[in-house]
Chain A
């Protein structure tokens, strides 16, 4: 028993204080969610295995670019070309799809499984903010397997060229298509992947469904495309084919499907917009 004056509220006053620091609001909360999602996509702040998986896939995506740049720089051959910018995504499409499947299932799946969604919405963010932050995080993550190898290859080829000015004159036109196709593929794959992943309850199912959505139409279209002329329209059911044709159109090449080039531009934008819109609607309706 202590002597002296008894402070008031001995039992219930736990020393809590009100918060009177700065309040950073909705925009800051969305930014934080974006940064957190992007970090966890690459396994930063998580265990060793997610890091190995994410950076391993990025490394695999970089291999063709590295081969091209190294051999072009040290090889005796002038104008060596192992892989061209417009066909780069064909080389690594499996890596892009795997990356999307792995990351999409993590980004929207774990919040649902561990019941942390309610915590986000006790902050001043809205459904659309949550979807936009996740979409932006996955698209940014995908740049590592789309834009990064392509720009590396572009500048590597430039530095390795015997006559840098002449190389720039003939190849500088490729730079805008590289950025355009990289952006379009990243955003579309991110939106389609996230949308699919929200429908699966378990991580394994999410990965398999995202993968199936990209790969199965791809395989089917590849198998039937030679059979008859009408079969070419099936390509519009395959996101990979739409993105491939879009990329070829940007690079001023002729897509394998015999249709006017504007169709592919429209189809690609339609895919990206529809998937993003469906994702936001799906998130809004899903609690």
Chain B
């Protein structure tokens, strides 16, 4: 049953138009990296700084949240919207299992579509040296994809406007607020990702501008994921079929 749910969700998510859009989105860092490379010998900004810049401002702050938003809100939200959630919820599958499968598939799809282009972009900029950035990138993308997808799956069970609210959250809370108020770094997925990347790469902290240490970042990310998955399960348990049109 779980396997059927997994393959079904994957097929729903990786539909033609949606994947095409995500692939185009994911290729933006590659494009920027190629422009940087074609512009020739760079001293300002240095390749490592530029790669970290792409990683932070493009992948971590824009491409990944938007991808996770699209996949996270449609993994369960599209079923609710289309009315096929009825068939899902009347099957003898525990609600927590449904939630976990949806989060896992959305996060998996996000990682699968985002990570290869991101790695390609960093390789193009760095030209093979400074290989430490690639595992850091992978770790950060994995952490961010799981936390964001958990959040957006929970949000899509709660409201039919999950996409818009999620966008406002990503752009305003993750984008603007941490630069003004320092405390919010504890509840910012972007900072969890930067902290993780920082922990793995072992680069000096100012290269990635992480405000949060790697350990605390991972603990906070894990807590947030468990909490939101729990909340999504509760919401789905109380979900009444046909309550939303």
List residues of chain B with CB under 8 Å of any chain A CB.
17, 21, 25, 28, 31-32, 35-36, 39-40, 42, 45, 53-54, 57-58, 62, 66, 70, 73-74, 159, 161, 163-165, 167-168, 171-172, 175-176
Contacts and interface: CB of A to CB of B under 8 A. Distances in A.
B172 A60 contact: yes
Interface of A: 49, 53, 56-57, 60, 94-95, 97-98, 101-102, 203-205, 207-208, 211-212, 215-216, 219-220, 222-224, 226-228, 231
Contact of B35 (A98, A101, A205, A224): A224
Nearest to B29: A223
Contact of A215 (B32, B42, B62, B165): B62
B35 A227 contact: yes
Contacts of A101: 164, 167
Nearest to A106: B164
A243 B72 CA distance: 33
B35 A53 contact: no
B35 A231 contact: yes
A231 B32 CA distance: 11
Contact of A208 (B42, B57, B70, B172): B70
B176 A94 contact: yes
User: Is chain A's interface secondary structure helix, strand, loop, or mixed overall?
Assistant: helix
21 contacts: A49-B159, A53-B161, A53-B164, A53-B165, A60-B172, A97-B171, A98-B164, A101-B164, A204-B163, A207-B163, A212-B25, A216-B25, A216-B28, A219-B57, A219-B62, A223-B57, A224-B32, A224-B36, A227-B35, A227-B39, A231-B35
B32 A94 contact: no
Given A207-B163, A223-B53, A57 B31 contact: no
Contacts of B159: 49
Contact of B172 (A49, A94, A216): A94
Contacts of B164: 53, 98, 101-102, 207
A156 B17 CA distance: 48
Interface centre among B32, B39, B42, B164 (most CB of A within 10 A): B164
Given A220-B31, A222-B57, A98 B171 contact: yes
A55 to B, nearest CB: 13
Contacts of A57: 168
A28 to B, nearest CB: 33
- Most chain B beta carbons < 10 A, residue from A49, A94, A219, A227: A227
Nearest to A219: B62
